[in-house]
Amino acid sequence: MWSAPPGPDAHRSPEFLTLASVTIAPLPSGLRVRTRAVDHPGRLLDLLPDDRNPLCWVRESDGLVGWGEVARFTVTGPDRFVEADAWWREFADRLDVRDEIGLPGTGAVAFASFTFSPRSAGSVLVVPRVVVGRRDGQAWITEFAAGEGPSAVRSVSPVRASGPLRYSDGRLPVERYRSAVAEAVRRMRAGELDKAALAHDLLAVGEEPLDPRFLLGGLARRYPTCWSFAVDGLVGATPELLLRRAGDQVSSRVLAGTIWPGERAEADLGGTLLGSAKDRREHDLAVDSLAEALSPLCASLDVPEVPAILSLHNVSHLASDVHGRLDPKAPASLLQLAEAVHPTAAVGGTPRKAALELIDELERMDRGRYAGPVGWVDADGDGELGIALRCAQLEGRTARLFAGCGIVADSRPDTEVREAAAKLVAVREALEAAEPVR
């Protein structure tokens, strides 16, 4: 179905949708794409114009930022990854591309954000008019142009601080979240399933429309080793890389098992986390689920036997970096890989079907794109997708914040509530800052 691009509220869905749907923005004719080298552009986030929906995927000094919109693809349903992959391949094949760099992320690029559940509306690919990128000291700009016309270049206005904020319950308040965790633990102890990742939300409302660049910049400065992202109003900084594809190489960073300052008395939080049977079991379930999903698509897969510690500003996680080589006979694209692995046990649970049914029953809210894949894909099928964690969906004056925890039979409801609050600190601190972070 061909139609005009959806409006800003297109991803909202008070009730889960049950039928697949697709919306494709009209494709301009005669599109040309050029990628060329540029001098050091400075901090990538500083290039973003005052746009309601900036596009970003940045870690430390490298990444991609984009603005303007050439095309958009939105989809709902269980085949959303397959349909998005098919649309992107067809779109990219019709372009006249001149790529003078030839790195992953050059040439035509689409920013991607998918819903956690196939029944939620809002999975989207956005092709920006302008992309500026940097990788390993090499910087470039990619510009779309129709015919001989110039691409859209915008002036950058000052970033606006959030100002005073008031908080209110989201669709799943803390007390209901505590009860949901208790019920999940009861069922796990009864042997119904091994793990489920439950989440709740929180609303922050400002006096004026919130500037996504303010939240994005604050998160990027506080969490430079995370992947800071912004796609279609979803803004965050995730520590968890779902997938990276570069040629025949694929990798993933799995996180599960969390500790935070004040949660336990020991000074050695990392040692405590590694020694926790509960956290190690939660982590093993997440790693095993990823490896099981990736193995059929890989010629080889390297899975570490012992996790490492990832220490962040607000929490520490057990982390395992998984690396593989794709099947050379039929190398899967990034979006095909995403279809195979999402949701992992880190954000879904084990067994997957039972965990997802429990999440629907106990949360009784639409997560939207929280805990779904987010990132970018290029015309070769390479790219990076993180899991949309430590994030908020921005709508005018309102930010909807999310946080979740992996629940196993040994989980304690009060502890999980405190863990979720510790994870919310990332977005809350960035939103509440008095001045833009530079």
Q: Which residues are catalytic?
A: 195, 240
d(CA 296, CA 279): 27
Contacts of 221 (CB under 8 A, 6+ apart): 437, 438
Angstrom CA distances, 238 to 213, 392, 418, 426, stand at 16, 11, 19, 10
Contact (CB, 8 A) for 109 and 95:
no
Residue type, 62: D
The helix/strand/coil state of 334 is helix
* DSSP, res 2: B
Which residues pair with residue 143 across a beta bridge?
A: 34, 130
Place of tokens 């085949």: 79
Bridge partners, 145 (sequence order): 32
Burial of 63 (0-12, 13-18, 19+ CB in 10 A): buried
- For 186, which DSSP code? H
Structure tokens at 267: 């000074």
